[in-house]
Amino acid sequence: MSTNAYAEDLRDITDHGLASVACSQPPPGKIARWLGAETDFSYELLGEPQLINTEFIEQSVLFTLSASDPGLLPFAVMPVGSWGVFAFDGHGLSILYPDDDSCERLLRLEKRSLTEADPKSLAQLLCLVRLKQAKGCVHHVVIECAEALRTFAWTGFEGYQVSESELQIVQDTIIPPLITDLPGSGWELSFTTIHGWMHQLNELGIEVIHVTPEFTFRRQPRQVLSKRIFQAIPSIRY
């Protein structure tokens, strides 16, 4: 499916389908929960859908969108709101969650070997969804090489200063995204990320995810390379 085929209609599609997809059981608000009462939610979509270009995903259009209700979508927006990653296959709308098999179902729909995928794009998609925690503000960012840490900026924010002493210790262990074919048992996706709350991305580590032939994910324990790869990070208030 062309990523532009439905681009102009994604907001309307999301607006009409969001309640049934994400909130078949509308979450009560804080006060209602304290009082033990049920309540309907209300929300406003924020901004426009942002397309995610992942060449391997051809059967669906992927995009992100934010909403004003903090409990509506899987991930938190600071200071208030929520956002999520959506998949539209031309017939139905679904949300990709970190704690279910929605990412696996997305890959099964492609019916192709992961060796055809771009490792970086796939790693970035999993960082957007699978490596997150629902309602959390913890992020992973793919790092391809040591030089990427020296020039790093997070969503336009500059001011990150790498610790050269830390980098000298770990730079040879940084691995770019890689998909390894495991004949008979699937594939292994390995990549390096920096990890932390919001912009405080100070932990450098390696992620390894085994994907079975049935496209089931098995995440291995994270290999931490450095707990403080930056000696300075920007000051951002939320």
DSSP 67: E
| pLDDT at 2 > cutoff 80 | no
Q: Alpha carbon 105 to chain centroid distance?
A: 16
**Confidence at residue 19, expressed as pLDDT on a 0 to 100 scale:** 47
**Confidence at residue 142, expressed as pLDDT on a 0 to 100 scale:** 97
**Confidence at residue 42, expressed as pLDDT on a 0 to 100 scale:** 60
Per-residue pLDDT reduced to its tens digit, 178-237:
999 999 999 999 999 999 988 889 999 999 999 999 999 999 999 999 999 999 988 866
Alpha-carbon distance of 198 to 178, in angstroms, equals 26
**CA–CA distances in Å: residue 169 to residues 137, 152, 166:** 29, 18, 5
Torsion angle, CA of 200/201/204/207, rounded to 10 degrees?
130
pTM: 0.82
Question: Which helix or strand (DSSP H or E) is residue 22 part of?
Answer: helix 10-22
**What's the whole-number mean pLDDT along residues 114-118?**
95
Per-residue pLDDT reduced to its tens digit, 147-166:
999 999 987 778 899 999 99
Per-residue pLDDT reduced to its tens digit, 15-74:
655 544 444 444 445 544 444 444 455 667 787 888 888 889 999 989 998 888 887 888
Q: Which residue has the tokens 């499916």?
A: 1
The Cβ-side half-sphere exposure at 33, using a 13 Å CA radius, reads: 7
